[in-house]
Structure 1
Amino acid sequence: MRWLISIFINAILFVAIAGFFHSFEVSSFGAAIVASFILSILNVLVRPILIILTLPITILTLGIFLLVINAITLLITDKLMGDSFEIHSFGMAFLMAMIMSITNVILQNTILKKNSAK
């Protein structure tokens, strides 16, 4: 259930971010849900490999390099989604990674923690 909530929250974030920035486009809420699903699969399959390969630089940057890894997974999602989900630059992907990381931490500490306490 948490996984579905996370996919839905990320889809809402995609639509909200697309509304604020012109260098990111999502064609519909359905496309945002599909992109969120693809991103979650990439986070399970690809992200751990990238983390292991970049572990030294991640340690040197005290974990900040993880935002770069998140941006890379967003760009891979962009390539897999085609025209319905477009990130126009790495800078936009990095900004999205920051926004999504901050928002997900806040939501996990409020909404999801309350649901697990019940």
Structure 2
Amino acid sequence: MRGLLARLLLNTLAIWIVTLVYPGVRFAPGAGLLDYLVVGAIWGLANAFIRPVLLLLALPLNLLTLGLFTLVVNALVLLLVAAVTPLEVLGFSQALVGALLLSLVSLVLTWIFD
């Protein structure tokens, strides 16, 4: 349970940092701490359950592009999360950059807090 809570907080912190640095991904006006936590939780669930299925379906394209299609899958997951939460993504190209930044920020935060 403690690891799950830590992952939720790291996801939430990573999403918050990306929304501060990149204007293509932002929270809806008036979003509060609870909204941030909900987005972090849904992002974690989407990465745990939906992303592996999408990666399996996209395996031929992923092999053909030597893994670069994973960025597209990450952008699609970010768009999906934005569709059901107060997170706003301005378009697919912004989702692509946002997903890349989110991965990098999450990696750095995991290094720092691990």
Shorter chain as denominator, the TM-score bin is: 0.7 to 0.9
Is the aligned partner of 1:111 residue 2:107? no
Q: How many residues align?
A: 110
Once the two structures are TM-superposed, the CA of residue 110 in structure 1 deviates from its matched residue by 4.3
**Partner Cα separation in structure 2 for residue 22 and residue 58 of structure 1:** 28
Partner Cα separation in structure 1 for residue 110 and residue 14 of structure 2? 14
Query: What's the Cα RMSD here?
Result: 1.7
- Does the aligned pair in 2 maintain the 1:15–1:29 contact within 8 Å? no
1:49 aligns with one of 50, 53, 72: 53
Runs of 4+ in structure 1 off by over 4 angstroms are: none
Q: Which structure's relative contact order is higher, taking Cα pairs within 8 Å and 6+ residues apart? A: 2
Gap change, CA 1:47 and 1:39, over 3 Å in 2: same
What TM-score, normalized to structure 1? 0.80
Identity of aligned residues (%): 25
Return 5+ residue gaps in structure 1 as ranges. 113-118
1:65 aligns with 2:69: yes
Q: Calculate the TM-score normalised by the size of structure 2.
A: 0.83
